[in-house]
Structure 1
Amino acid sequence: MLHPLPKLVMGLIWILASILIFDLGFQLITIALAAGTLIVLERRSPFLVLALMVPFALFGFGFFTTSVLFRQDSPIALQMAAETPFGASAVSAGLILFFRAIACGMVSAVFVLTTDPGALIKALMVHWRLPPSVGFALFQALNLVPDLGRQMQDTRLARAMRRGRPPRRSPGPAELVSLIVPLLAYAIRRAGRSALAMEARGLTPGGKRTITNAPMLKQHDAVFAILSASALVFAIFVSGSISIG
């Protein structure tokens, strides 16, 4: 299993490259590499990968329509877009912005789907000196999100038992509104317990403490960083996007 921090650094570098390099070929290569990583290496369903692209595509479609209909491009963007074989510069720039949003989103998806959140927090505490109070709060948030889902289901089941009929498969708008107050009260109780737990653990700044099962950097993490950097250089070389916009 790879260390979370090299993956985080390389993911940020890929996202930064997608933002700075105004080239359609580079964006397409980034999307293909991210999708191939999920499908081939992580054995994720191609339908899941396509579903992950949908929200980023919707976000990118806003860039596309804005670029085409309400265009006010910088000279460097027009010059770079004019070199792409897609006709008008506005459409070319819009397509690059559209696929840039998908590329950045897919790189983020690869990191999220291949990284254990608990291991990431421990790595940040050990290697990047994340304060223990912040780390413990993040752990509480990781536990609170699924607990809220279970609490919502328990509340819906209790209400259905009182009414004498099974609950709906998914709550309607009115039921969702009625669940806000119970879930908010549950979250406040959990927050109070978390505060007491943090006080009991003595999470004061500057104190020495031991972090168990924290991921450590190994040789294969360096190999991953080298391969990822090489793939980035390869993508830049193949797409011919040496100019930065």
Structure 2
Amino acid sequence: MLSRVHPLAKLVVCMAWLAASILVFDARFQVVAILVAAAILIVLERRSPVFVMLLTVPFALFGFGFLTTSLLFREDGGFAQRMAEEAPLGSEALSAGVVLFLRAVACGMISALFALTTDPGAFIKALMASWRLPPSLGFALFSAVNLVPDLAGEAQRIRLARAMRRGRPPRRIPGPVEAASLLIPLLAYAIRRATRAAISMELRGLGARPRTIANSPLFSRMDAAFAAAAFVLLWGFVILLA
């Protein structure tokens, strides 16, 4: 359902929630932001709860660094005292660390929500059509989006070719030595792709104006309703918890 919302409307909403997560010094608001993002992924996007839980792991590890830094290298300052007053958890260092930990998870989940529900191609086209993104930059972003999966496929083809030459199947996960040996071939592959992309950009005449952007996303009433509901929900939580 959220995948059908206009990418730019979704971007503005997610940026507003990110700004609120950064500015609101309250652990309860961070928890609410995490739960809202998780509920949208599970209920509306039909994502597995296990997948959503695993999605929080890298953000939790990042936030754990803030927590341990706050506890081990404590310094009583205005920032820590303010968070301790608004979310008392036993000590200023612990309160500050917990808020920073939850903030990292909340910001990560909001960003992941946007990334998982937005098609990169539609997002770039929307930027070009509505926010006047230069065509040359948009084509470069298209090339980068397509290059990432192509690099993975090229790496797998190189590994299979080497395995056939050795006469034994490749390992499921490449070791450090094998991964290092793939860097030069993949770099050469990326340079060739970049050269072809540059030539293609010249041939397409991306500097010419005006231009037509085919199949770019269009705003609808559903986008306005989604943005209004998201901002009302955000404002309600801020007023209730701030």
Q: 1:30–1:235: 8 Å Cα contact kept in structure 2?
A: no
One-letter amino acid matched to 1:181? I
Instruction: Tell me the residue number matched to 2:230.
Output: 228
Matched, 1:4 2:14: no
* Structure 2 counterpart of 1:58, from 57, 61, 80: 61
Instruction: Tell me the residue number matched to 2:75.
Output: 72
Deviation at 1:84, TM superposition (A): 2.3
Separation (CA, whole Å) in 2 of partners of 1:83 and 1:15 = 20
1:11-54: CA deviation from partner (whole Å, max 9, x where unpaired): 01100100000001100111110100101110111111111111
* Structure 1 counterpart of 2:199, from 180, 196, 200: 196
Q: Normalized against structure 2, the TM-score is what?
A: 0.95
Identical counterparts, % of pairs: 61
Aligned pairs, how many?
239
Q: 2:38–2:109: 8 Å Cα contact kept in structure 1?
A: yes
Matched, 1:27 2:30: yes
Distance 1:190 1:83, change over 3 A: closer
Q: 1:22–1:77: 8 Å Cα contact kept in structure 2?
A: no
Instruction: Tell me the residue number matched to 1:159.
Output: 162
One-letter amino acid matched to 1:119? A
Secondary structure of 1:78's partner? helix
Q: 1:82–1:88: 8 Å Cα contact kept in structure 2?
A: no
Q: 1:64–1:98: 8 Å Cα contact kept in structure 2?
A: yes
Separation (CA, whole Å) in 2 of partners of 1:39 and 1:216 = 26
Give the 4+ runs in structure 1 shifted more than 3 A.
Answer: none
1:102-161: CA deviation from partner (whole Å, max 9, x where unpaired): 011100011000000000000000010000000000000011111111111111111111
Matched, 1:215 2:217: yes
Q: 2:9–2:223: 8 Å Cα contact kept in structure 1?
A: yes
- Counterparts in 2 of 1:39-118, with a 5 A limit? 39-118=42-121
One-letter amino acid matched to 1:39? I
1:39-89: CA deviation from partner (whole Å, max 9, x where unpaired): 111011111111111111111111111112212353254133224241112
Q: 2:124–2:141: 8 Å Cα contact kept in structure 1?
A: yes
Separation (CA, whole Å) in 1 of partners of 2:138 and 2:64 = 36
Higher relative contact order, structure no. (Cα contacts within 8 Å, ≥ 6 residues apart):
1
* Structure 2 counterpart of 1:172, from 158, 171, 175: 175
Q: 1:63–1:98: 8 Å Cα contact kept in structure 2?
A: yes
Separation (CA, whole Å) in 1 of partners of 2:80 and 2:73 = 15
Q: 2:83–2:99: 8 Å Cα contact kept in structure 1?
A: no
Secondary structure of 1:182's partner? helix
Instruction: Tell me the residue number matched to 1:148.
Output: 151
Q: 1:122–1:215: 8 Å Cα contact kept in structure 2?
A: yes
Separation (CA, whole Å) in 2 of partners of 1:160 and 1:75 = 60
Matched, 1:13 2:16: yes
Q: Show structure 2 runs of 5+ residues with no match.
A: none
